[in-house]
Amino acid sequence: MGSKREKPCTVIAVPSGWTATLDGYRWARDTVGESGGAVYRLHGKAGAPDLYLKHGHGSVASDIHSETARLRWLADYLPVPHVVQAERMPHEAWLLMTAMPGLTAYQVMQGHPELRTVVVDALALFLQRLHAIPVERCPFQSSHAQRLALARARIDAGLVDEDDFDEEREGWTAEQVWGAMQELLPLTPDTVVTHGDYSLDNLFIQDGEVVGCIDTGRVGIADRYQDLAIMWNCLGEFGAPLQERFMQRYGIAHIDEAKLTFHLLLDELF
């Protein structure tokens, strides 16, 4: 991660038995997208790879525990960070994992405009690989019905950041987003194994290929548009032709506008 995304910090308390692994590292805390938890990059240890540590309390601890389970399962199918250590206490959790090689897809798209079509094609191919995993092998559910229930709970608890809505919903309330989603129901799901947050920041590119994905806490069986919509939204920053190319390379000849809109609305509430 670049310096704009992190700041040096002191060592935090970790479970007993982790000290030998972590001795000798310099610590930096990620300042972007922590969602109530904390993410640290451990670097600078001679002869040792960079590591990432996620730490959180309460509901964030539950999320970290869920991500740990999904990382271990997904590792049989796709390149993901290796879980070095993980521990869950009643109200606290830690996840220590290896860093991914390469740059994020966003970093490549932003810094190397000449590679944008290459990246888009690679992202579509990688998503095909993910969605080809047999659903009967996936122990995790992430259906839109389940996520709607979670979204409703977040609205009721006042946890939705309405100031962070996409430009086309600027000034909306969470209740307006909720109402707009209800108008698009029911949806007939086309279920696959989904990432859940298939964004440019969560995919890593090296030599024109996707070499890994991170932030797997939402992995589970859901409609394929859960992933397609988020990537579509990310690519909007780089123009409609790349959005269309992504869909075509993935294999979508005719976009289901209702599903696309529904999943974009749903993502606003998380």
Structure confidence by residue, pLDDT tens digits, 2-28: 456 889 999 999 998 999 899 999 999
Report pLDDT for 37: 84
Architecture of domain 3-98: 2-Layer Sandwich (3.30)
The secondary structure of 133-184 as a DSSP string is S-GGG---B--HHHHHHHHHHHHHTT---GGGS-GGGTT--HHHHHHHHHTT
Query: Which residues does the annotation mark as catalytic?
Result: 197
* pTM (two decimals): 0.94
Query: What confidence category does residue 33 fall into, taking pLDDT thresholds of 50, 70 and 90?
Result: low
CA distance 210 to 55: 27
Reply yes or no on domain 103-268 having CATH 3.90.1200.10: yes
What are the domain boundaries of the chain?
A: 3-98, 103-268
